[in-house]
Amino acid sequence: MTTGPTRPPGRVGPVASGDRSGPPDGPLPTTRTTIGTTMANDDGMYPLRPGDRGAAVADVRAALRSLELLVPAPADGGETESETRYDEATELAVRHFQQVRGLTVDGHVGEETYRALSEARWSLGDRLLHHDPERPMRGDDVTNLQERLLELGYDAGRADGILGPETETGLRAFQRDYGLSADGQCGPATLRALRQLGRKVTGGRPQLLRQSALMVESGPHLIGRVIVLDPGHGGPETGVTAGETTEADLAFDLASRIEGSLAAAGATAYLTRGREQNPSPAERTAFANDARADLFLSLHMDAHDSEHARGVASYYYGTGSGASSTVGEQFAHLVRREVVARTGLIDLGGYPKTWDLLRMTRMPAVRLDCGYLSHEVDRRLLLDARLRGTVASAVLAAVQRLFLPAEADPPTGTFVLDRSSSSG
């Protein structure tokens, strides 16, 4: 098993290149009411659930109200008991917000939902936008800027709401072309120019066209490709259990099989964890980014109270409203269909999600849920080592097909890699 590059303890991102001087593009208001830190502690965040009370609940209700998902507060502005209570209306509003934002819909406010609520309250023009390597700016205003640049034909990276170096490069290119100060900061002058111009790229999603062309141009071989495999859970976090078998163990076994198949095909494969480790989502994505991976695949199994729930689902980064990891979407469909075609498991489809595991990776990332351990048939199949070997072969076929030109792409379930060509 290859565990790849390591990160220094406590390192969260690149070191800042230096202090930033004042904004030459003109000032913008930077003070805005945001969700407080009342639910945080030294060990992370306490998820808020129905029935909870306190200042953190009031913060969440205020955020939902600003998004017009809750009725207005009392006219006197006082903090009544109802304003600090996580009631049924709050839960319904949270569920609606999670559904629209591509989050896990559970009605609880954990770290991802809490952060998404904060990001949702920023509109383009509320603050000066610039790239901060130490603490990248995040918010809906960043997403709007990225989408506008992409529409105008500039490569701003993925429209993920995180202002990274790709977005700064696209913004500087736009500023240079339109005679503005190319400072990489989106202030009043840049906003006026963006709003005055019409869309230039038509006939499809520009990012899809650009990414698809790059994939084909990079060639069909897997030699030299870097694939990061992420077996879900690990250590004391077992995930779903089936008797003495755990999701964490099955995912690790499956990842190890896929690693071997990819290595035999000439690719370099890394696992995000060992058998007894349980990295955080931030550590898993940072690992993949440091490895400069070409693809990231997270492996899970599922469970449900319903005895009828079964099948394979795939997830890729996307908001459901156009902004997505386009190659990630393509790979999500490829790998799921290959698994279904070779195993007989039911196809549950592919879905856009904004989970940090998919959002924070700087390469196409997919989560594959390989079946339900709570369903008798799926469980029996997943406990069979031969079936897991078949899934590994399906993943290898999907990875290879991703890099093939359309005219050379074989039908789903038929591709068999010629190992002799990969070693030559």
- Pick from 387, 71, 34, 402: nearest CA to 218: 402
Backbone angles phi, psi at 204, to 5 degrees: 135, 175
* Residue 301 DSSP one-character state: E
Backbone angles phi, psi at 414, to 5 degrees: -110, -15
Residue 78 lies in a domain: yes
Residue 359 lies in a domain: yes
Instruction: Please check the confidence at residue 19 and state whether its pLDDT lies above 50.
Output: no
Q: Same structural domain for residues 222 and 356?
A: yes
Q: Same structural domain for residues 379 and 331?
A: yes
Q: What is the pLDDT of residues 389-399, one digit of tens each?
A: 999 999 999 99
Instruction: Please check the confidence at residue 370 and state whether its pLDDT lies above 50.
Output: yes
Q: Same structural domain for residues 167 and 279?
A: no
Tokens encoding 377: 């048939």
Q: Same structural domain for residues 65 and 154?
A: no
Going by pLDDT thresholds of 50, 70 and 90, the confidence category of residue 207 is low
Residue 10 lies in a domain: no
| pLDDT of the residue at 329 | 92
| pLDDT of the residue at 257 | 98
Q: Same structural domain for residues 296 and 227?
A: yes
The last residue of one of the domains, among 152, 174, 202, is: 202
Residue 132 lies in a domain: no
- Report the distance separating Cα 338 and Cα 400, nearest Å: 11
Residue 364 lies in a domain: yes
Backbone angles phi, psi at 135, to 5 degrees: -135, 85
Q: Same structural domain for residues 288 and 197?
A: no
Instruction: Please check the confidence at residue 20 and state whether its pLDDT lies above 90.
Output: no
SS3 content of the chain, % helix, strand, coil (to 5): 40, 15, 45
Q: What is the pLDDT of residues 176-191, one digit of tens each?
A: 999 999 999 999 999 9
Instruction: Please check the confidence at residue 403 and state whether its pLDDT lies above 70.
Output: yes
Number of domains in the chain: 3
Terminus-to-terminus CA distance in the chain, angstroms? 23
> CA torsion 132→134→138→142, rounded to 10°?
20
Entry pTM = 0.77
Q: Same structural domain for residues 98 and 152?
A: no
Look at strands 241-242 and 245-246 and give their pairing: antiparallel
Residue 20 lies in a domain: no
- Report the distance separating Cα 381 and Cα 378, nearest Å: 5
Instruction: Please check the confidence at residue 43 and state whether its pLDDT lies above 70.
Output: no
The last residue of one of the domains, among 173, 202, 231, is: 202
Which whole number is the average pLDDT over 260-273? 96
Question: Between residues 49 and 244, which one has the greater pLDDT?
Answer: 49
Going by pLDDT thresholds of 50, 70 and 90, the confidence category of residue 10 is very low
Q: In this prediction, what percent of the chain has a pLDDT beyond 90? A: 67
Going by pLDDT thresholds of 50, 70 and 90, the confidence category of residue 27 is very low
Going by pLDDT thresholds of 50, 70 and 90, the confidence category of residue 206 is low
Residue 276 lies in a domain: yes
The last residue of one of the domains, among 170, 202, 234, is: 202
Q: Same structural domain for residues 307 and 349?
A: yes
| pLDDT of the residue at 319 | 76
User: Could you list the residue range(s) of the whole structural domain that residue 244 is in?
Assistant: 212-423
Going by pLDDT thresholds of 50, 70 and 90, the confidence category of residue 205 is low
Residue 12 lies in a domain: no
161: domain CATH number? 1.10.101.10
DSSP string, 31-84: ------STTEETTEEPPB-TT-BSHHHHHHHHHHHHTTSSPPPPTT----GGGG
Name, of 23-27, 151-155, 367-371, the range with top average pLDDT. Answer: 367-371
Q: Same structural domain for residues 194 and 231?
A: no
Counts of helices then strands in the chain (DSSP H, E): 14, 10
| pLDDT of the residue at 320 | 65
Q: Same structural domain for residues 162 and 86?
A: no
Q: Same structural domain for residues 51 and 164?
A: no
Q: Same structural domain for residues 183 and 286?
A: no
Residue 200 CA, chain-centre distance (Å), reads 28
409: domain CATH number? 3.40.630.40
Q: How many residues does the chain have?
A: 424
